[in-house]
Amino acid sequence: MRPRRRPFEQQRPVNRDTTRINESIRVPNVRLIDDDGAQLGIKSTDEAREYAYGKNLDLVEVAAQADPPVAKIMDYGKYKYEQEQKAKQARKHQSQIHVKEIKLRPKIGVHDYNTKKGHVEHFLNQRAKVKVTIMFRGRETTHPERGRDLLLRLAEDVKEIGAIESQPLLDGRNMVMVLGPTKNAGVKQHAEDEDTQRDEETIPGDGDGDAHASAPPPDDAAGAPGEEKPGEPEARPAGRASRA
């Protein structure tokens, strides 16, 4: 029987550091740069390595294509860590651009237009670009100005949070316009969210309603148990009739 083949396992390429340091530098001479940036001239690699070891630092080849190669004295572990942190911060602040699409008809109604406009405002407040497409059908293609007027009307309605990045352009049976968020996009919504959160923090959240309402004060007229109420006639013994 033939041995069963194992499934092919694709391994990710290992990101290996190809920088030559210390004993990995094989060239006979290097142009040496001190850790403070001072130029020390051309030194033998052994001499430069011993000089770096004397400072408890590393000899790092920074320009292998030069003649002779350029080597710098540094703390390579610290240098590599700082480079990784810089790359991490760059990826963190790198914003991803999202493009949303809204489709309209030239003869759209008022209610549907307001609904679509609300979607556009929502996307712009999320710092996303919006691609607005007018779809023409039949003889509607003979009046492209209607679609252009509709797109420009939409751009005018959302001009506080959106600006035209691509003017209305006819593409076959469609007309396309691209809106991009302005610096005011999302600012008002963020302020409203903060106000809502502040209001929720001030309202007590016990949820018991009237359960904790204070009990009504006791009726003073009732008096203590066994005490006669004022204004009531004194009870007489049974069997004794009152005389007129």
| Cβ–Cβ under 8 Å, residues 32 and 52 | no
pLDDT band, residue 190 (cuts 50/70/90):
low
Neighbour-count burial for 60-85, b at 16+ CB within 10 Å, e otherwise: bbeeeeeebbbbbbbebeeeeeeeee
Cα(140)–Cα(138) distance, integer angstroms: 5
Residue 218: its pLDDT value, please?
A: 52
Residue 149: its pLDDT value, please?
A: 94
Average pLDDT, the chain: 79
- Identify the three-state secondary structure at position 106: coil
Cα(168)–Cα(177) distance, integer angstroms: 4
Q: How many residues does the chain have?
A: 244
| Mean pLDDT, residues 52-77 | 91
Report percent pLDDT > 90 for the chain: 46
Tokens 């049976």 sit at which residue? 173
Helices (H) and strands (E) in the chain, counts: 5, 8
- Identify the three-state secondary structure at position 67: coil
Name the residue among 208, 212, 230, 210 with its Cα closest to residue 220: 230
Crossing angle between the packed helical segments 110-125 and 144-157, to the nearest 10 degrees: 50
Which residues 6+ apart lie within 8 Å of 78 measured at CB?
none
Window from 11-20, 114-123, 155-164, 210-219 with minimum mean pLDDT: 210-219
Residue 98: its pLDDT value, please?
A: 84
pLDDT digits (tens, 9 = 90+) for 139-179: 898 999 999 999 999 999 999 999 999 999 998 899 999 99
Residue 243: its pLDDT value, please?
A: 44
